[in-house]
Copies of this chain bind each other. A is one copy, B any other.
Amino acid sequence: MIQTLEVALGERSYPIHIGCDLFSRADLLLPYINRRKVVVLSNTTVAPLYLGMLRSTLEKAGIAVLPIVLPDGEAYKTLASLNKIFDALLGAHCERNTTLIALGGGVIGDMGGFAAACYQRGMPFIQVPTTLLAMVDSSVGGKTAVNHPLGKNMIGAFYQPKLVLADIASLDTLPDRELRAGLAEVIKYGLIRDPEFFAWLEINLENLLARDRGALAYAVHRSCANKAAVVAADERETGERALLNLGHTFGHAIETGLGYGEWLHGEAVAAGTMIACELSRSLGWLTQDQLLRIKALFVRGGLPVAGPKLGAQRYLELMRHDKKVQDGRLRLVLQKGIGSAELSDVASDAQIACAIDNACT
């Protein structure tokens, strides 16, 4: 069974197909591929697992496949990798209507999307996420980017894919640590706007960890439905979309501060969310009971609930580079109970520093 959602963005609208064994389904891909050639961007971990399957499906349909395989990991989400992609695209005479397929996790999707946005000022691209995190978050919504030594996702574009193809079966090979990291973004949707989903997660978390396909498909679908609704209302993040960054300003500071790749993005988001929740509690926006309920779910997911001890001043310094800074003030997503969040610059540096100290033990 395939479930389909639409991200409603006018002429930039696109479908998200969620199901099992989709890599054999040429019929889902062909409408978005021009002519007889397609580029598949992947990494050294995912390519040996799934590139052959996808390639064989496309070649049987008469499409030549140009694979571009990069090293795996957040440390390679750089302008230098991007340049390698451009070299390959130009070397193979790719045109601006050649389609690029990003096959992999968030790093491949972010980089592939940004490369597609820039190549000849924009070529069509398709997201084929193979991690839980990419399926529920990064493959949907058109945020693409690479990192800079001074800040995560600092160089990028808003550029929507033509199609997202989420094959739940590909999660079979996902390492446990990455599955758990993906859960951080799943839990996020419950926290910021979907209290029923949060309650469902409290009941079903162990089914997700056990990779029950029905549970995974439900969680991916519900997460994507939340994300699609937010993105359709606010594509370029002038308002509500900023709430999707719950825990991310703290999380990006953790990732940049420790060096990209040390913690997984989802792990940094989990710890960052707990810092945001601690700050929300200190402001009276969240009760101690709610805080503990949130913490308990992350703990069951095997996720870190305390940030590394970089020192509050170092956190603040790193956070000053974040895209959410406006007019010199840090704007943070804070929790208002469970199921509701708000972007606010109400917290002072001292209050933020205090929450960091309390939540990084």
Contact = CB atoms under 8 A, between A and B. Distances in A.
Contacts of A236: 122
Interface in A280-331: 320-321, 323, 325-328
Given A90-B151, A91-B150, A150-B91, A117 B327 contact: no
A156 B121 contact: yes
Contacts of A97: 326-327
A87 B154 CA distance: 11
A154 B326 contact: no
Given A90-B321, A321-B90, A154 B119 contact: yes
A95 interface: yes
Contact of A321 (B93, B117, B156): B93
Contacts of A122: 157-158, 236
A313 to B, nearest CB: 16
A117 B96 CA distance: 19
B35 A327 contact: yes
Contacts of A87: 148, 150
Interface string A119-162: 11110000000000000000000010100101100111110000
A320 B35 CA distance: 16
A77 to B, nearest CB: 14
A113 to B, nearest CB: 11
Contact of A120 (B35, B91, B320, B323): B323
Nearest to A96: B323
A96 B95 CA distance: 31
A162 to B, nearest CB: 15
Contacts of A79: 79, 82-83, 86
Interface string A236-249: 10000000000000
A158 B159 CA distance: 11
A145 B121 contact: yes
Contacts of A117: 157
Contacts of A95: 323, 325-328
Nearest to A146: B118
A314 to B, nearest CB: 16
A134 to B, nearest CB: 19
A156 B90 contact: no
Contacts of A151: 90
A96 B325 CA distance: 8
Given A90-B151, A118-B156, A121-B158, 6 more contacts: A93-B325, A95-B326, A118-B155, A118-B157, A122-B157, A122-B158
Q: List the 9 shortest-distance A-B pairs measured between CB atoms, nearest first.
A: A90-B150, A120-B323, A121-B156, A118-B155, A96-B323, A95-B325, A121-B158, A79-B83, A121-B157
